[in-house]
Amino acid sequence: MDTTVEFAVPGPRARRGREQSMTSAVGLNEEAVTAWIADLGIGALAPLTFKRIGNGQSNLTYRVTDTSGSSWVLRRPPLGHLLASAHDVAREYRIITALQGTGVPVPKALALTEDPAVTDAPLMLMSHVDGIVIDSIGVAKGLTPELRRATGLSMPRALASIHGVDLELAGLDDLASRSPFAERQLRRWTGQWEKSKTRDVPAVEELTALLTRSIPQQTETTLVHGDFHLSNVITSKEDGEVVAVVDWELSTLGDPLADVGALLGYWAQADDAVTGPFVASTVDGFPSRDELAEVYFTETGRDPAALGFWHALSLWKLAIIAEGVLRRTMDDPRNTAETGGPSVELIDDIVERARETADAAGLR
């Protein structure tokens, strides 16, 4: 469960899914964290074991297991130097707590600590949700075509539930600025690019200018997940329905079509000239991007006119996120997930797909 996933180009090493142990519990003081969890009154029986899980390369995620076999999920920021406001585990904890009982499927938020006697960075403990995380093409191929299709079609419905949250009732109306969202996104991620880039990429600057010229009018403000894709949902083994949406660290207030554009940006199809890093959805049975969009707009009644802009922006943003992952793994190799990390060639491919998407949307 993490904000960036499967940035490695598929290679000979088998990928066994999110439940596989990837490293020892790097980044944790196991004795101190065990004492903290044991004192929470959640029934955890020491000694506890900690295993790094997931293909994510942003916040680090661990499965915690006690002597009875009960499990929980623990998250902390990446190791090393972080950009300001990035990887905010305490903010993520607030959001998941606020969403309890709203109809949005999320894990149960159990505890947060920033106690320096326990940890050098904020730690969030959540319930473990049983289900499937399609974080590799191998996991996708292990499902039936019918379950792949049902899973895909459930995602825009889950997204609609997020965008239907009553912000005031949930206590999230002050989560972020209500200023125009596209401008905020362009400003924020341009800044992230400047701080984390490993080289000059003129095509990124050209895309930034094109998107800035093409900003659509924003007509509403909703909760926005900010990183909604197959690897950030847990789905039912029986019917493919989303049973939990995870990785809320990029969540904010903004234009709901930003999330729809992101879903399409992450959703590769077998006939794409450039598939990017997220290849699971190319397996037979998954619905097309057009079908995903149709389900969302049928469910919500929203106007799809600006979707092309948000689709292109999502790919531009994905390239910047990947560059940030590349920078973090270069700075501290302990942040590298088992499947590796993004390459320069992969990032350039994402940028090219963003340019093609902008052209197809008629952005000038």
User: Is 43 exposed, middle or buried, given 0-12, 13-18 or 19+ CB atoms closer than 10 A?
Assistant: exposed
Which tens digits make up the pLDDT trace of 163-198? 999 999 999 999 999 999 999 999 999 999 999 899
Give the per-residue pLDDT at 249: 87
How many CA atoms lie within 13 Å of 160's alpha carbon, on the beta-carbon side? 16
Mean pLDDT per block of 10 residues along the chain (364 residues) reads: 40 35 70 97 96 75 96 89 61 96 97 96 96 94 98 98 98 94 95 92 96 96 96 96 94 97 95 80 97 98 97 95 87 69 87 94 92
Neighbours of 174 (CB within 10 A): 10
* Tokens found for residue 342: 């993004």
Read off the tokens for 305. Answer: 């006119």
Tell me what pLDDT residue 221 has: 97
pLDDT at 168: 97
- Extract the tokens encoding 257: 């079509």
H-run or E-run covering 57: none
Strands 109-113, 71-76: pairing kind:
unpaired
What pLDDT is attached to residue 25?
78
User: pLDDT digit string (tens) for 326-352?
Assistant: 888 888 877 666 556 788 888 999 999
CA separation for the pair 160, 119 (Å, rounded): 36
**Could you write out the DSSP letters of every residue in 164-200?**
T--HHHHT-TTSS--S-HHHHHHHHHHHHHHHH-SS-
Task: Tell me the per-residue pLDDT of 137-164, one tens digit each, with 9 for 90 and over.
Answer: 999 999 999 999 999 999 999 999 999 9
**Neighbour-count burial of 20, counting CB atoms closer than 10 A to its CB (0-12 exposed, 13-18 middle, 19+ buried):** middle
Residue type for position 305: A
DSSP state of 90: H
Residue 52 CB contacts under 8 Å (≥ 6 apart), including other chains: 21, 22, 23, 24, 25, 26, 60, 61, 62
Q: Are the C-beta atoms of residues 258 and 184 closer than 8 Å to each other?
A: no
Return d(Cα 6, Cα 58) in angstroms, integer.
11
Backbone torsions φ then ψ of 359, nearest 5 degrees = -65, -45
Do 59 and 246 touch, CB atoms closer than 8 A? no
Gap between the Cα atoms of 312 and 362, Å rounded: 11
Q: How far apart are CA 316 and CA 319, in angstroms?
A: 5
Residues in a beta bridge with 62: 52, 74
pTM: 0.86
Confirm if 247 and 1 have CB atoms less than 8 A apart.
yes
CA distance 260 to 137: 22
65: β partners: 49, 71
Per-residue pLDDT, 15: 34
**Positive or negative: CA dihedral 177, 182, 184, 188:** positive
The helix (H) or strand (E) run that includes residue 210 is helix 202-213
Instruction: List domains and CATH numbers for the chain.
Output: 30-127 (3.30.200.20), 137-360 (3.90.1200.10)
